[in-house]
Structure 1
Amino acid sequence: MTRTEGTGAGGVDPRELWLGHDRPRRGRRPAFSREAITAAAVALADAEGIEAVTMRRVAAEVGAGVMSLYSYAPDKETLLDLMIDHAVGELPTSEPLSGDWRADLKAIGRRQRAHMLRHPWLPAAVQARRSLGPRTLAFMEHALAALRPIGLDGAARLEIFAQLTSFVAAHVAHEVGRARAAEDPGRAAAEALYLAEVAADGNHPELAEALASTGRPITPDAMFDRFLTRLVDGLDAG
């Protein structure tokens, strides 16, 4: 696998990465494949976090020598692109669309959230992605088709899809962080007491009113749906 000229140490020609063969061009056929390597890396990231994904660990998972992996992924950035595209393959791309672009876009956003919650390393990874693989392009094609009734040109629809994906990634990153913080009940209780004292000091009336408000469900699902609805319903179709 060759690097793209002028892109620096981490650059790989996307045509070779995504359109080339899933095996080195020279030497005998190996006992593993790029798909197996990528699946092992995804499983490792799911179980231990993206920090655990190193070429050495992935090689050990598939029973290969470290150097042999570089024929498939010459650097960790390329491996991350492969991992993202592999994971995105779980998202449906053939389900029929309703023709109601708001309803379809909200459904896509909910699927993205559920998908990222299954792979908590994805929110940060998609922000650093350098190349779009075939599974990602298939999902993007599905989303752009869902947005066709909005009446905007292709470039505007692409911007909306990027905005939705960025929103979902940021929200899931926040959810994951809050869930991890909640694993320490002592810390969570201390934070609640702190905010209660601040709200009662008379210097933060807006915060006091917000904390005293009731009636809105605060489950993660309900909060996400409220934010998603504000985003989608606020899009200007003019």
Structure 2
Amino acid sequence: MTHDGGPGIDPQQLWLSDGRPRRGRRPAFSREAITEAAVALADTEGLEAVSMRRVAARVGAGAMSLYSYAPDKETLLELMVDHVTGELPAPERTSGDWRAGLKAVAHLQRAHMLRHPWLPAALATHRTPGPRALAFLEHVLAILRPSGLDGAARLEVFAQLTAFVAGYVTHERAQAAAARSTERAAAEARYLAAMAADGRHPELAEALAAPARPVDADATFTRFLDRLVDGLDAV
């Protein structure tokens, strides 16, 4: 889903209108229904399965009739991202402890992206925050106010955090899929052991010799997140 060099999406037209056609008879469906159908399709079959034809079939419409609501798949993706962002609860402020607040936001985001596995990939091309995304952003910026960061830096921190969570969830799901293949996991373990024993990778050998941590996705995410957030400098 890339831009073709044209003007792209007009945010005002997309988000400040109700999305209903101005002419013709009253439609039997809405932009919200179309978006919900696209999200359901992506949740069950992946982002690649989302097409105007498949979404139209879900709402009982002709594919061409959808283009007055979402003129292209890029616009539909914007609608989908904002729609599911509305599921996120407003993060709570934690009595001025902005680091704790930011970590709570990250845990909300991770759970959300695990519910919608297509979301990390969609965020990579997402351009235009809609009203639900802006409402969530407003809460996060308020959490960050006690940090002493200026507005631009607070926006950067939110972007950094979201990118971290999206990357982690993508890696987490890939690792979980790989772990289901015990043969592959055993082959990878043998390979790393051989590389560590060749004398040319002493740092790797020392790392592999350390006691293994229990495999716990939640605990691993928390450790990574602590390192990221605790290392942020309020400048």
- For the aligned pair, the TM-score class normalised by the smaller chain equals over 0.9
In 1, the alpha carbon distance for the partners of 2:92 and 2:160 equals 22
Paired positions, count:
232
Check conservation: 1:41, 1:83, Cα contact below 8 A: yes
Check conservation: 1:101, 1:150, Cα contact below 8 A: yes
Check conservation: 2:35, 2:83, Cα contact below 8 A: yes
- Matched with 1:194 is 191
Letter in 2 for 1:202: G
Check conservation: 1:37, 1:62, Cα contact below 8 A: yes
Deviations 1:43-72 (A, max 9, x none): 111111100001111111111100011011
Letter in 1 for 2:97: D
Q: Determine whether 1:234 maps to 2:231.
A: yes
- Matched with 2:182 is 185
In 2, the alpha carbon distance for the partners of 1:71 and 1:22 equals 8
1:91 offset after TM fit, Å? 0.6
TM-score (ref. length: structure 1): 0.92
Aligned partner (choices 148, 158, 164) of residue 151 of structure 1: 148
Check conservation: 2:93, 2:101, Cα contact below 8 A: no
Letter in 1 for 2:158: F
- Matched with 2:132 is 135
In 2, the alpha carbon distance for the partners of 1:218 and 1:94 equals 28
Check conservation: 1:105, 1:147, Cα contact below 8 A: yes
Q: Determine whether 1:72 maps to 2:69.
A: yes
Q: Percent identity?
A: 72
Letter in 2 for 1:20: S
Check conservation: 2:92, 2:101, Cα contact below 8 A: no
Q: RMSD in angstroms over aligned alpha carbons? A: 1.6
In 2, the alpha carbon distance for the partners of 1:33 and 1:8 equals 29
Check conservation: 1:10, 1:77, Cα contact below 8 A: no
Structure 2 unaligned blocks of 5 or more: none
1:42 offset after TM fit, Å? 0.8
Letter in 2 for 1:91: L
Structure 1 unaligned blocks of 5 or more: 1-6
